[in-house]
Amino acid sequence: MERAAEISVERLSGALTNAVYVVSPPKNLPPRTESANSASGETNQTPAPAPVKPPNKLLLRIYGPQVEHLIDRDAELQILQRLARKNIGPRLLGTFKNGRFEEFFHARALNPADLRNPDISRQIAKRMRELHEGIELLPEERERGPYVWQNWDKWVERCEKVITYVDRKTREENRRRAEQANGVPYRKREFVCGVEWTFFKETVDKYRAWLDEKYGGPDRLRDRLVFAHNDTQYGNILRLVPAGESPLLLPANQHKRLIVIDFEYANANMPGLEFANHFVSCVPFKPPSLPPSLPPTHSPRISHAFLLHGERRGRAR
């Protein structure tokens, strides 16, 4: 602890629900002293060899305030432990009340330009397929059904109250702007969901009923569920930067250089939802003054890599 002041702590960007730091050990650690008892009973202090390899950096994650209603941290830790048994994602090294330590990867996060590269998109698809097939859902996870509907049912009443209030204000504002414009074209404010809440909710309810019918009922749909990440935006996909002659540099292992992190939303969902969520999440948010970014291109091969294993799982069941 006498060199604690030499520990480096650097803030990383990109985390929405927590603060993330990389913790680096002191440089040039001296040999540590080991105690040994001599034949006469005296204690000798002998220097141990200096470490050939310095201690690894750590990732420190401090949970954000007031996000317990969004993220079940206990469930997240259990998921991380399941992933660790399959060598998927960062290793969990320690926890405390409002955070945890994780394995730090020498890697860089992908960016929107990477996701428009068809080769990288195929590598992501392979990685997601390995996740879907490598982690078995627990019986209770499958029984609860798609996580997207769990969240919908949890939040729909509260969202309805907030959205209908905001939409009412939007209608009032649009009437005011129309009166002031006096026939001149003006910019209308948009509804929260693009359309009024009543129509939006009815559409979702109809789609949910259609989906259950298409798959032969809720039980058959649950049979098709996989363990999904549910947040595969580019900041949660890292590309390892291996040093020296690493097997990861072989062409056949290119997709294994990709590491998916941040499993706080992971749960049971359909492979198709993972596919759609990835493409939607990859459109960066920009100010209205800038042109919108296009989502990454896709091809039948990429769709095939994401979705075919879901078809096989369904037939196998």
List the domain boundaries for the chain: 1-24+45-104, 107-145+225-317, 150-211
Helix H segments across the chain?
73-85, 118-134, 139-144, 147-181, 197-214, 218-223, 271-281, 300-316
- 51-106 pLDDT tens trace: 567 788 899 988 877 677 777 888 888 888 888 888 888 888 999 988 899 988 88
- pLDDT at residue 258 greater than cutoff 80: yes
Q: What is the model's pTM?
A: 0.75
CATH code 3.30.200 for 1-24+45-104 = yes
Question: Which region among 25-29, 123-127, 234-238 has the lowest average model confidence (pLDDT)?
Answer: 25-29
Q: Alpha carbon 114 to chain centroid distance? A: 17
- 224-240 pLDDT tens trace: 999 999 998 888 899 88
Q: 119-130 b/e with 16+ CB inside 10 Å = b?
A: ebbbbbbbbbbb
**Alpha carbon of 124 to those of 54, 154, 265, 305: distances in Å?**
32, 30, 18, 9
Beta strand pairing call for 92-96 and 99-103: antiparallel
pLDDT at 296: 57
Kindly give, in sequence order, each residue whose CB lies less than 8 Å from that of residue 230, ignoring residues fewer than 6 positions away: 147, 265, 266, 267, 269, 273, 274, 277
Is the distance from CB of 86 to CB of 52 less than 8 angstroms? no
